A and B are shown apart, each in its own frame.
Chain A
Amino acid sequence: MSHEVTLEWRDGREATVNVRKAETVTDATERAGLGIPYGCLYGACATCTGRLLEGGLVHVKRARGLKPQHRQDGYVLLCVAEPRSDCRIEVGAEVQADLVPNPWK
């Protein structure tokens, strides 16, 4: 079955997309023309990083671009993620930058 996924940008913008069965969040946001960033499309590059705020979401391929700590903190890779319930996810290019702060600053 499909699930309603609510996307929240840090500038306050919000959108809802219907993610179909066996469809990744990135495939759904592209179908809806929402312009969520992505890169490799196989879970390695983390360009599509979002943060799961609410709901159930699973990685259908290994999310290689995330470290265990990132996963514990709720970060998800939308290009290999499928919802298992209605979800709320924080999205946008800035979210990826949370993963790796400047190590010297």
Chain B
Amino acid sequence: MSTDERNQSTDAHHDEHHTVKGPGYPTPAAMRTESEREKTAFVMGVRVGMDVDKPDFVGVVDVDPDSETYSELINTVEMPNKGDELHHFGWNTCSSSCHAEGLVRDHLIVPGQRSSRIHIIDTSDPRDPTIEKVIEPEEVFEQDLSAPHTVHCVPGGKIVISMLGNANGELPGGFLQLDQDDFSIDGHWEVDRGDMRMNYDYWYQPRHRVMLSTEWAAPETYYPGFDLDDVEAGKYGNSIHVWDWETKEHQQTLTFGEEGLIPLEIRMPHNPEETEGYVGAALSSNILRFWEAEDGRWEWEKVIDVADREHPDWDMPVPGLVTDILLSLDDQYMFFSNWLHGDVRMYDISDTGNPRLVDQCWVGGNFAERQSIGGHDVRGAPQMLQLSRDGRRLYWTTSLFSSWDNQFYPEIGEKGSVMMKADVYPEEGRMELDEEFVVDFGDAPGGPARAHEIRWPGGDCTSDVWQ
């Protein structure tokens, strides 16, 4: 089935074991093998913190090599307000509701990280998305929440968004629940927050009734930029939180200390049987693995340590800054980015506790020799990742967050960031930068923009969860 055609649903999605039609795929393997190649990508375009007097936009990038507009930004849907800082986004429904009849994956939930405004985008035509509804910040603040981040659709007709702050941009954060039917605010998802105060990303494994959430900092702390004094003052996260997915109660805190400073993106295998996963600790530049032990408690260990590197122009060793991680749909490979170094790494994780580095792609950043592609300067370094469903193409963008960009890669603030791609050869355990593919968001209509998270119509490695 094509995932890029108008009004796509899974009507054409035949599976002899699942007769009920729904908005996703019955298994991760079905998504990997039965979906077609991605033809368009939704990419967040951000103007916050730039002298560009325009709103952020949801961009549509043509990723169909047979198209005349291949590797071009073919459409931009500008938000109704400026200053949102579009960042991460998610679907109204996904494979977690695969068996629910009548649901269609046709709306994106697009929050503003700074504005706390939440946009509902109708993507029935993936080449021409339209804004359907806007939840204004005041409605969000009424819940004593702010700074929306990760969006997952969850079984039972709901959408849950991790929220990093209270209505004043201070701690604690929480989780905001929306209704899938009319996109109205239900209230908080969580029933008992326990000792969780900071929030960032989350993943869940419904078969095992578990959800895990990570920590960045209070919005008032990370919004203005990264200050080491704030790390020393304990204002940045170093723990993750285990929740009971059914009762919505906090169960356990895993505290990493120095090994896990600023644990951001968290991923669990797509296989719904698995009770383990990985989190990238950005500042410590470690990958930590966590798992459920026999007694039901969760444990953790460090499995990858990215070494700091000396740079002639820097006074102190430069950490990799692991800002995004991703698992392939077959759970065989892990990819992550080192935003300050300038590389993307590919690990074989078939032995989950012993990830094996198989390849690395250097471009941009502070250490890569290659600083341009197709005549375009690589401003920033590999950051947000997205893998094709078949695991053969890895795409990424190079902006992190407006104020942090301005601090570490100020040229992004002037000229925007870029989107790139590597071809991945899973059978051979390697990847290769595609020198023909670059989308320069410096040339976006209306002025330069920072390219951020990427999603495919029809779902992807970081959107879908299986029950």
- Give me the interface of A with B, judged by CB distance under 8 Å: 9, 33-35, 37-42, 44-47, 49, 64-67, 92-94, 96-97, 99-105
Q: Is B228 an interface residue (CB 8 A)?
A: yes
Contact among B85, B165, B168, B413 for A39, CB-based, below 8 A: B85
Contacts A40-B114, A93-B51 aside, 8 further interface pairs with beta carbons under 8 A come to A37-B49, A37-B51, A45-B223, A46-B223, A96-B224, A99-B224, A100-B227, A102-B408
Question: Which residues does chain A contribute within 8 Å of B52, judged by CB atoms?
Answer: 35
Q: Which residue of B lies closest to A79 (CB)?
A: B83
B202-248 residues at the A interface, CB under 8 angstroms: 219-220, 223-228
Of the residues B53, B317, B403, contact of A100 by C-beta under 8 Å = B403
Report yes or no: B220 in contact with A64, Cβ–Cβ below 8 A: yes
Interchain CB contact under 8 A, A103 and B223: no
Interface size on B, residues (CB 8 A): 40
Question: What 1/0 mask marks residues of chain B from 43 to 57 whose CB sits below 8 Å from any chain A CB?
Answer: 000001111110000
The answer to whether A105 and B115 have CB atoms under 8 Å apart is no
Q: Which secondary structure dominates chain A's binding surface? A: loop
Q: Which residues of B contact A65 (CB under 8 A)?
A: 220, 223-224
**Least Cβ–Cβ distance between B338 and chain A, in angstroms:** 14
Number of A-B contacts (CB under 8 A): 116
Contacts A45-B219, A64-B169; A99 near B225 (Cβ below 8 A)? yes
Docked-complex contact A66 and B224, CB < 8 angstroms: yes
> Would you call A105 and B313 a contact (CB within 8 A)?
yes
CA distance A104 to B50 in the complex (A): 24
Of residues 159 through 194 on chain B, the ones whose CB sits less than 8 Å from some CB of chain A are 165, 168-170
Q: Does B286 contact A (CB under 8 A)?
A: no
Contacts of A96 in B (CB 8 A): 49, 224-225, 403, 406
Asked if B426 is an interface residue, CB under 8 A from chain A, the answer is: no
User: What are 10 A-B pairs at a CB distance below 8 A?
Assistant: A9-B51, A39-B402, A42-B169, A45-B114, A45-B403, A47-B85, A47-B403, A94-B406, A99-B225, A100-B226
C-alpha spacing A102/B149, complex, angstroms: 25
- B82 adjacent to chain A (CB < 8 Å): yes
Closest 8 CB pairs of A and B: A35-B53, A100-B225, A44-B169, A39-B114, A46-B224, A45-B223, A64-B220, A104-B316
Please measure, in the bound complex, the distance between the C-alpha atom of A105 and the C-alpha atom of B340, giving whole angstroms. 12
Q: Which of B116, B220, B406 has the most CB of A within 10 A?
A: B220
Q: Do B226 and A103 have beta carbons less than 8 Å apart?
A: yes
A residues near B319, Cβ cutoff 8 Å: 104
* A101 CB contacts on chain B under 8 angstroms: 407
Chain A residue nearest to B225 in the complex (CB): A100
